[in-house]
Amino acid sequence: MGRMVSSSFSGTRTPMTTLKDVARVAGVSRATVSLVCRNSPLVAAKTRARVEQAMAEVGYVYNRSAANLRSSRTDTIGLVIPEIANPVYAEILQGIEECMAPLGKQVVMASTSESLEVQDRILQRMLEMRVDGLIISAATGSAPSTFDACIRAGVPVVQVLRSVDSARLDYAGTDNRAGAGRATRHLLSLGHTRLAFLGSSVATSVSHDRYLGYCDALQAKGLSVDQELVASCLPKIGDAAAAAHRLLSSANPPTALVCFNDIVAFGVTMALYERGQEPGRDVGVIGFDNIEWAENWRPALSTMSISALEIGRHAGELLSRRLQDKEEAPQRMISEATLIERRSTGGLAGPR
């Protein structure tokens, strides 16, 4: 049976330091210390430095949670993404943080793992945390009603990369349809006519638009879309390699593949090596996103750069605007995907 154990410590507890202590050491008023804690622009740089030094000397830690309870803001922004492993989202986060930091706001991130149930729980928790705003790349299967609770609560929502509710919400992303069309035209310009499309089995606006871009380019060239050359897989290297093997084992295999993203393209190049074929020499391969690994892959991967960092900045900019004006009509900030030609399509490195 358990028993209560009392502490043997008999010393005197050190009292917590207060704003008054900081003000006394810094030689300023309590109101000035409070303004410094809240990152107010009203405090001169020299005074701010003196107050911050005094806070360090007396060991004062600002209780932001308590302060938030007294105000209508928490200075936190929720970022909800579908997967943590995709490097694109790391760049998105960096861009958002660059916009939010000068406003004194902290970004809190959570991953849905493409689960609608998990996404609902995360959104509810974000509302309970009283975040000032949300930026979300919604899980597959999301509907406009996904955001109803946020809208009722008056919490601004910005969509990033994936668009679900264009009628009510701001959006930052890239022109996926035009980008995939550009990737396909690049392979057509190299003489390929049997072009496969290896898309994502995760049904989102991104995967749909990239497939449409592939179709647009073929049809503009007078070529029909051969459904035997269209396949999908999870955007994982192993799944992409297996799907590529199936495409390449057909009686009349493709001579080049347009891939949903760089990770899928990595799987395709692995499958080619396993078959004794050289990407770029025997079969053309192009990805999408231009993640950091693409340039250092073997061979260096041709891809469409979406400038994920810029998209993150756009999302942050849209949210900062929305925090100022919740009545403004929904805005869209669309960046252009740029062709980066490298060895996997037989070309030289560099943008085109």
pLDDT number for residue 59? 79
- Tell me the mean pLDDT in the region 211-224: 97
Architecture of domain 176-306+339-345: 3-Layer(aba) Sandwich (3.40)
pLDDT number for residue 135? 98
Instruction: List C-alpha distances in Å: 303 to 83, 300, 332.
Output: 21, 9, 24
Mean pLDDT score across all residues of the chain: 90
Instruction: List C-alpha distances in Å: 214 to 128, 182, 259, 266, 344.
Output: 43, 8, 10, 19, 18
Q: Which of 4-13, 48-57, 333-342 has the lowest mean pLDDT?
A: 4-13
pLDDT digits (tens, 9 = 90+) for 172-200: 999 999 999 999 999 999 999 999 999 99
pLDDT number for residue 336? 96
Cβ–Cβ under 8 Å, residues 81 and 52: no
Domain 76-174+308-335 in CATH 3.40.50.2300? The answer is yes
pLDDT number for residue 1? 39
pLDDT number for residue 351? 43
DSSP 249-261: TSSS--SEEEESS
With a cut of 50, say whether residue 352 has pLDDT above it.
no
Confidence bin at 33 (pLDDT 50/70/90):
confident
pLDDT number for residue 5? 34
The residue count of the chain comes to 352
pLDDT number for residue 19? 83
pLDDT number for residue 68? 54
Percentage of the chain with pLDDT > 90?
Answer: 75
pLDDT number for residue 25? 92
CA dihedral 283, 210, 89, 115 (to 10 degrees): -110
Rounded to two decimals, the pTM is: 0.78
Cβ–Cβ under 8 Å, residues 158 and 323: no
pLDDT digits (tens, 9 = 90+) for 61-110: 776 555 555 555 789 999 999 999 999 999 999 999 999 999 999 999 99
- 176-306+339-345 has the same fold as 76-174+308-335: yes
Instruction: List C-alpha distances in Å: 66 to 74, 77, 109, 117, 347.
Output: 10, 18, 22, 31, 59
Task: Give the pair of three-digit tokens for residue 174.
Answer: 């890239």
Q: How many CB atoms lie within 10 A of CB 169?
A: 24
Domain positions in the chain are: 19-62, 76-174+308-335, 176-306+339-345
With a cut of 50, say whether residue 343 has pLDDT above it.
yes
pLDDT number for residue 173? 97
pLDDT number for residue 273? 98
Higher pLDDT, 94 or 203: 94
Percentage of the chain with pLDDT > 70?
Answer: 91
Confidence bin at 272 (pLDDT 50/70/90):
very high
pLDDT digits (tens, 9 = 90+) for 119-175: 999 999 999 899 999 999 999 999 999 999 999 999 999 999 999 988 899 999 999
Element housing 211 (H / E):
helix 205-220
Confidence bin at 348 (pLDDT 50/70/90):
very low
